[in-house]
Amino acid sequence: MTLTALAALVPLLPFLGAAAGLLLGRSAPGFVRPLAVLPTAASFVLAAVVAARQGTGAPTDAAHRLATTGSVPVDLALHLDGFSVLIAVLVGLVATCVQVYSLAYLRDDPRYPSYAGLVSLFTAAMLLVVYTGDLMVLLVGWEVMGICSYFLVGHYWETETARAASIKAFLVTKLGDVPFLIGVFALGADAGTFRINGILAAAADGRLHHPTVVALLLLAGVAGKSAQFPLHTWLPDAMAGPTPVSALIHAATMVAAGIYLVARLLPVFTASAAALAVLAAMAAVTMIGSGLAALAQDDIKRVLAYSTIGQLGYMAGALAVGDRRAAVFHLLSHGAFKALLFLGAGVVIHAAGTNSLTAMSRMGGLGRRIPDALWTMGLSLASLAALPPLSGFFSKESVLRAAEHASAGDTAHVPSAVGWTVLVAALVTAVLTGAYATRLFLLAFRGSGPEVPDHGRQPLAMTTVLWVLALPTVAFGGLTYRELPHWFGGPSGDGLGPVLTTSVLGTGLAAVGVLVAYAAWQGTAAIRGANPIGAVVAEPADAEPALVEAEAIDTHAEVYGDVASAEDLGDPGRLLLGPLHRSAAHGFHLDAVYGVLFVRPVLAAASLVRFLDRDVVETYVKGAGGTPKLLGAAVRKAQTGNVQTYLGALLAGAVVLAVIVAVGA
Amino acid sequence: MNPGTVLAAAAHHPGFLSPTGVEITFVLVGLATLGAALLTVTTKQLVHAALWLVVALGGLAVEYLLLTAEFIAWVQVLIYVGSVVVLLLFGLMLTKAPIGRSPDADSGNRWVAVGVAGAAAVTLVWVVVDAFRSTWINLHGAVQGTSHATGTSLFRHWVLPFEALSVLLLAALVGAIVLSRRTDGGKETE
Amino acid sequence: MHLAYPAVLAALLFCVGVYGVLARRNAILVLMSVELMLNAVNLNLVAFDVWLRDTLHAGQALTLFTITIAAAEIGLGLAIVLLVYRNRGSSDIDRLTALADPAGPRGDGTGRPGAGEDPDGPGTTAGDEKAEATA
Amino acid sequence: MNDTLDVVLRLIAVLVVFLVLPLVVGQTEHKVMAHMQGRLGPMYAGGFHGWAQLVADGVKFAQKEDVVPADADRRVFQLAPAVALLPYLLVLIAIPVGPHGFVGQALDAGLFFVLAVMGVGVLGSLMAGWASANKFSLLGALRTAAQLMAYELPMLLAAASVAMAAGTLSLPGIVESYHWWWTLWQLVGGLVFFCAGLAELQRPPFDMPVADSEIIFGAYTEYTGLRFALFLLAEYAGIVVLCGLTTVLFLGGWHGPWAGSVGWLWTLLKTAVLAFVVIWLRVSYPRLREDQLQKLAWTVLIPLSLAQIALTGVVKVVIS
């Protein structure tokens, strides 16, 4: 089988699985689970085969023109290179893990067939985005992911939170997609083709007429999809979806799509220093802000969500300094450990019966009950905090190194100010990352207080998946940083390995963060002991994990007064953030700002339209209907049935006629 | 009588200021008739209305006599006073006409009716006076309304209408009987 | 005699009859007013017949016909009025408005469901009782 | 001047007749009924066989209180007797007693006039019955009206038959064209006319409207004193008029031996005989029920009178 055919099968298999699963969901429930797992797993294997066969060779391109369009041709194109095949492997891995995990996590869910189908479709769309060589086809996958995320985030549509989160996710990403679409058209118009290779060639030749405009337009879409400031607000709220969905979205698919796109089109961006500056500023703000916010969150999944935003900021920063290899490297390692973190968080939530760190910090023995989650999450959090020798260390180190390189002005097209911005922000974020990772770990697993209620043994599917993902979390970075440059097609000398300055700085700062958080945790232990906040434990033993989570999310605001935070004086994050805590917990009130800036004007406009429709347009309509009605009523009034009235009118008319005739004569 | 002679008669008619005895009588009886008619349509006592109608009809009979239409006059008395009014009274009594005033004898159309009738009266009187103020009826000469004359014209020139009218009367008779019959089967004989 | 006298009298009588027809509630009173109008016409016919000295005596013959028709009319009219009175318990013309377009949504339909019903619902039974008492 | 005097004299004569003859008939009725029933009747008033009995009655009536019921329609109540009585007075004017203008006023359409005016008399009964505010009175009035409507028609038809035979509507003209064989020719019409007349007068056996055993005295229940007397007077005047008319129309009026000189006597005689018959009928026939009354009118008298008209027409055509 040719490489091209294999690669084509990779997105096709999950798609067929999704179609079959959605079609057969009702009539043949027995086929649903195999249809969910097997195509995805097969797709993963095929992606691995494709990766192996593609290897470090030259990029493979294949195209088939379905139909001639009017002006700019649209091709069904395939583009395989080091980036795409590796990301495809990651997507396949995470998707397979998520599907397996979901078998246990959503074992009793009545809507499991549609859920699994949508996950498969999601995976297929992402794989399409990864493999495609044509922007238009990419756009198709891009939008399919958007709609799938809408459905998946709103999986528990019975709860208000999930409904609001799904709509928010959809609208915010669409907000970015509109300029993105325009950008794609502009790009296509400028380059005369939608083929990425052609565009890149055009960019290299300087044939793009409006690189800044195009880049900024594309950036809007990227910010929406990859949850970069200022369009990141949908991502924390998307935690209302089931945990596996979060893992899928955060680790490998949706948010990665934006980064991947910029990585693919990097020459377009480097053509415009302004775009790079904007990207850098965006990344810097995203990184620091999300780090602060993550430190204040109470919901374990929201902490992870903000950490995702932060790590995406790293990747964006790497792109801003023109090093897409670092960005993709971080994308790959982050995909592994973030998937692990989310899936582990699912286990924790199930075991604790709550998603609140505050509640977990008042529980004893959670770590003992779920040792798998304890160890894997500990490893992945360390990886997140970039402690050597875990994967996260190497990938983040490559980002820092690229930024440092750029700040020195050694990178072509990239202003040194951009490099400095990214470098400083990345270093500050390293401290914050260390701090919130430590806080999460300590609050979740080192809590003291009454014993955790028994929620039954964690399903084997879930724990196994954790250990499977732990492997790349630990080893990926260290094993591959020497090989990857070959895959990414760069010169071999220009490696991704750590250099002394940045690794010492990064690791040191991360360690500072860890220590400070630990000290704060210790310092607040007494307060936590003095203020026992009752753990709200949702479900009795043996309930389906997803139900526990759904209920925990749904009741969080009810119990703690807020979706994001809890009034816990013993929270080390509160101690560390001080007065910032409150605004950080609410994402620096960006939602409120949006509410004032967009939601209210839109609502006002809607009410204006409503007014125009109801009271202005409808007045004419009603008038058109009402006037004959009134006339009819008047005529009907004349129809009194009283003979004398009729006669009176008749005779009066006769008299009038007589007078007219008499006078006229 | 050709129009020429009519006009000739009209040419030398006496003025309105020198009325003949017949004219005076006619006007007086006419006023009484008109008054009775007005009372007929305005009184709130139903039976009184019928009785005033008798007076008005009787007055008209006298006017016919003054116009030398003798036969018509007696027919008027016979049919109207003797039968029609009796029938009307009969109907009033069957529909339980009360003694005394009926407050609802007039409907809400009253003022409209006043307006229409008043306008009609003004118009008609104006037109009639305008048209006939100089027309003179010559009451002397052959009496116009003897039973002989009337009978002759009726049965010589108006036989067909007369017979048609008899058919109409028959139909009315049958209709009245049908209407008055109790419709609930033939079990109740009277 | 001046023709104006009978002509004016006839006109006035006619208008009095018009007023009665339009203003009276009781059907029998309306019939009386109709008689007044007919008589006014008769007076005109007679007066003009006498004035014109018509050899056919059309005016007087027509007067006789009118009187005959009036008699027939009064017989039929009274029969109808009595029947109405028997069925409705009232001979008030302005309450006999069953042919009116009924107010409200019922009148919006194409059919006329209200026409067959008695507009003064409970009055029907009372009317029947009265009718029986009369009979 | 002479004309005026003539008219006045005639009217006075009519008035005298009107005042005297009904009394005579009334007194006759008293005596005849009494004798037919095997008793004497009035014997004392006036001395000779109680000849002044009715005068005494009149005095008695005049002395009585004139009561008007509280709920009555006062004016109509008081007017009713006059309306009942006056038509007969007017009719008397037109009835010829003897030849050569021995009549109150000869009218061209005399027959019509007589019938029309007689029809007005019933209005008095209706007014009286309605205005009394008494259900018996109202019932009586309604019966009166119904009876009048029913019997007016055969009466008119019968009279029309005579008019056809005579070729005139003038009463003197009818009498003048009378031949003895007319009595046979118009016999049916005469009987119908007489019966219908009796019914219009509400005389027995057609006195259902005043049936005292059922509705006390019908329309006259509430009347007292002079007004009641006027009603009684109207009834007897009615008898006189009816008998006079029957005489004129069917019995040849003044025709008889020496008609030229004593014609008026023949008329009076025939009238008296008919009045006697009226009284006789009262004594001998039971009262007809209301439905029998109507049935007689519509199913017997009207067909008979129509048949009479047909006969009259045929004979008239044959002999002309």
| 3 state SS for C9-36 | HHHHHHHHHHHHHHHECEHHHHHHHHHH
Residues of B in contact with C58 (CB under 8 A): 153, 158
Sign of the Cα pseudo-torsion (D149, D150, D151, D152, in order): positive
The pLDDT value recorded for residue B8 is: 47
In a domain, A495, yes or no: no
Residues of B in contact with A644 (CB under 8 A): 107, 109, 113
Rounded to whole angstroms, how far apart are CA atoms A245 and A342?
Answer: 9
Rounded to whole angstroms, how far apart are CA atoms D314 and D305?
Answer: 14
A475 CB-contact burial (10 Å; exposed 0-12 / middle 13-18 / buried 19+): middle
The pLDDT value recorded for residue A659 is: 83
Residues of C in contact with B120 (CB under 8 A): 14-15, 18
B32 CB-contact burial (10 Å; exposed 0-12 / middle 13-18 / buried 19+): middle
- Token readout for C86 is 């028997």
Please give the residue that has the higher pLDDT: either D53 or C39.
Answer: C39
Instruction: Output the average pLDDT for chain C.
Output: 74
Rounded to whole angstroms, how far apart are CA atoms D31 and D283?
Answer: 12
Which tens digit of pLDDT belongs to each residue from A135-154?
888 888 888 888 888 888 88
Q: By the 8 A CB rule, do B49 and B40 touch?
A: yes
The pLDDT value recorded for residue A71 is: 67
pLDDT of A565 > 70? The answer is no
Q: What angle do CA A520, A525, A531 make, to 5 degrees?
A: 125
Q: Choose the weakest-confidence range: A442-446, B145-149, D197-201.
A: B145-149
Nearest neighbour of A640 by CB, restricted to C18, C97, C107: C97
Q: Tell me which residue range forms the domain holding B170.
A: 3-180
Neighboring chains of D (3 or more beta-carbon pairs < 8 A): B
The distance of A630 to chain B (nearest Cα, Å) reads 24
Tell whether B115 is within 8 A of chain A (Cβ): yes
Q: By the 8 A CB rule, do A404 and A296 touch?
A: no
Torsion of CA A619, A621, A626, A632, to 10 degrees: 160
Tell me the mean pLDDT in the region A179-200: 83
CB contact under 8 Å between B113 and A655, yes or no, is no
Nearest neighbour of C50 by CB, restricted to B50, B137, B172: B137
The count of CB pairs under 8 A between chains A and C is: 31
The pLDDT value recorded for residue A103 is: 82
Neighboring chains of C (3 or more beta-carbon pairs < 8 A): A, B
Rounded to whole angstroms, how far apart are CA atoms A372 and A346?
Answer: 12
Tell me the mean pLDDT in the region A291-300: 81
CB contact under 8 Å between C22 and A639, yes or no, is no
Q: Is the peptide bond before D205 cis (omega within 30 degrees of 0)?
A: yes
Sorted by sequence, the CB contacts under 8 Å of residue A249 that are 6+ apart come out as A149, A152, A153, A235, A238, A241, A255
A577 φ, ψ (degrees, to nearest 5): -80, -25
From the list B32, B22, B89, the residue with the least C-alpha distance to B60 is B32
Q: Choose the weakest-confidence range: A64-68, C121-125, D96-100.
A: C121-125
Rounded to whole angstroms, how far apart are CA atoms A175 and A191?
Answer: 25
From the list B148, B132, B154, B150, the residue with the least C-alpha distance to B6 is B132
From the list B59, B89, B106, the residue with the least C-alpha distance to C19 is B106
pLDDT of A77 > 50? The answer is yes
Sign of the Cα pseudo-torsion (A281, A287, A292, A298, in order): positive
pLDDT of B12 > 70? The answer is no
Q: Choose the weakest-confidence range: B111-125, B141-155, C71-85.
A: B141-155
CB contact under 8 Å between D142 and B100, yes or no, is no
Helix/strand/coil for A77: strand
Which tens digit of pLDDT belongs to each residue from D158-193?
888 888 888 888 888 888 888 777 888 888 888 899
Rounded to whole angstroms, how far apart are CA atoms C14 and C16?
Answer: 5
The pLDDT value recorded for residue C110 is: 42
Q: Residue D98 gets which letter from DSSP?
A: E
Rounded to whole angstroms, how far apart are CA atoms A607 and A64?
Answer: 48
Nearest neighbour of C61 by CB, restricted to B37, B104, B154: B154
CB contact under 8 Å between B47 and D108, yes or no, is no
Q: Tell me which residue range forms the domain holding A598.
A: 593-664
In a domain, B78, yes or no: yes
The pLDDT value recorded for residue A286 is: 85
Per-residue burial over B51-70, b if 16 or more Cβ lie within 10 Å, else e, is: bbbbbbbbbbbbbbbbbbbb
The pLDDT value recorded for residue C35 is: 87
Nearest neighbour of A655 by CB, restricted to B107, B109, B120: B120
The distance of A665 to chain C (nearest Cα, Å) reads 20
Helix/strand/coil for A592: helix
Taking the mean position of all CA atoms in its chain, how far away is CA D286? 20
Helix/strand/coil for A537: coil
The distance of C102 to chain B (nearest Cα, Å) reads 19
Tell me the mean pLDDT in the region B65-91: 82
- Identify the band that residue C104 occupies on the pLDDT scale cut at 50, 70 and 90: low
CB contact under 8 Å between B116 and A659, yes or no, is no
Per-residue CA distances from D227 to A57, A455, D72, D138, D186 (Å): 144, 118, 15, 18, 38
Residues of B in contact with A657 (CB under 8 A): none
Please give the residue that has the higher pLDDT: either A92 or A360.
Answer: A92
The pLDDT value recorded for residue C131 is: 42
Tell whether B55 is within 8 A of chain C (Cβ): no
Sorted by sequence, the CB contacts under 8 Å of residue A455 that are 6+ apart come out as A350, A351, A352, A353, A539, A541, A542, A543, A548
DSSP per-residue codes, B99-149: SS--TTSB-TTHHHHHHHHHHHHHHHHHHHHHHHTT-B---SSS-TT-HHH
- Number of other CB atoms surrounding residue D87 within 10 Å: 26
Instruction: Output the average pLDDT for chain A.
Output: 80
Half-sphere exposure of A67 (CA within 13 A, CB side): 2
1.10.287.3510, 2.102.10.10, 1.10.1040.10, 1.10.3720.10: which CATH number matches C4-95+121-134? Answer: 1.10.287.3510
Report helix angle B46-66 to C4-23, nearest 10: 160
From the list A408, A433, A428, A431, the residue with the least C-alpha distance to A418 is A408
Max CA distance (Å), chain C: 63
Amino acid letter for position A74: V
Chains C and B touch (3+ CB pairs under 8 A): yes
CB contact under 8 Å between D149 and B90, yes or no, is yes
A8 φ, ψ (degrees, to nearest 5): -65, -35
Which tens digit of pLDDT belongs to each residue from A264-287?
888 888 877 888 888 888 888 888
Which tens digit of pLDDT belongs to each residue from B18-54?
777 788 888 899 999 999 988 888 888 888 888 888 8
Sign of the Cα pseudo-torsion (D75, D81, D84, D90, in order): negative
Helix/strand/coil for A663: helix
Helix/strand/coil for D97: strand
Per-residue CA distances from C63 to A76, A621, B150, C14, D113 (Å): 106, 61, 11, 15, 18
- Number of other CB atoms surrounding residue A164 within 10 Å: 15
CB contact under 8 Å between B99 and D131, yes or no, is yes
In a domain, A93, yes or no: no
CB contact under 8 Å between B147 and D109, yes or no, is yes
From the list B51, B104, B37, the residue with the least C-alpha distance to C26 is B104
- Identify the band that residue B187 occupies on the pLDDT scale cut at 50, 70 and 90: very low
Q: By the 8 A CB rule, do A245 and A119 touch?
A: yes
Tell whether B155 is within 8 A of chain C (Cβ): no
The pLDDT value recorded for residue C115 is: 41
The distance of B187 to chain C (nearest Cα, Å) reads 15
Sign of the Cα pseudo-torsion (D90, D96, D97, D103, in order): positive
- Token readout for A375 is 């160890």
The distance of C61 to chain A (nearest Cα, Å) reads 27
Tell me the mean pLDDT in the region A290-317: 83
Tell me the mean pLDDT in the region D48-58: 81
Rounded to whole angstroms, how far apart are CA atoms A55 and A3?
Answer: 11
- Token readout for A630 is 């009134």
**How many residues are recorded in chain C?**
135
The pLDDT value recorded for residue A665 is: 65
Rounded to whole angstroms, how far apart are CA atoms A66 and B27?
Answer: 112
- Token readout for C119 is 């507009």
Residues of C in contact with A636 (CB under 8 A): 101, 103, 107
pLDDT of B169 > 80? The answer is yes
Which tens digit of pLDDT belongs to each residue from D104-147?
677 777 888 888 888 888 888 888 888 887 788 888 888 888 88
The pLDDT value recorded for residue B13 is: 62
CB contact under 8 Å between B120 and A642, yes or no, is no
CB contact under 8 Å between B90 and D131, yes or no, is no
Rounded to whole angstroms, how far apart are CA atoms D272 and D264?
Answer: 12
Tell me the mean pLDDT in the region A525-552: 64
Instruction: Output the average pLDDT for chain D.
Output: 83
The pLDDT value recorded for residue B190 is: 36
From the list D115, D139, D116, D119, the residue with the least C-alpha distance to D129 is D139
From the list A65, A378, B132, D16, the residue with the least C-alpha distance to C4 is B132
Tell me the mean pLDDT in the region A310-321: 85
Q: By the 8 A CB rule, do A219 and A279 touch?
A: yes
Number of domains in chain A: 1
Q: Choose the weakest-confidence range: A120-129, A145-154, A550-559, D298-307.
A: A550-559
Residues of C in contact with A630 (CB under 8 A): none
**In DSSP terms, which residues pair with A76 in a beta bridge?**
A64
In this prediction, the answer to ipTM > 0.90 reads: no
Residues of B in contact with D149 (CB under 8 A): 83, 86-87, 90
- Identify the band that residue A655 occupies on the pLDDT scale cut at 50, 70 and 90: confident
pLDDT of D65 > 70? The answer is yes
The pLDDT value recorded for residue C122 is: 42
Q: What angle do CA A460, A465, A468 make, to 5 degrees?
A: 125
Tell whether C97 is within 8 A of chain A (Cβ): yes
- Token readout for D316 is 């008239």
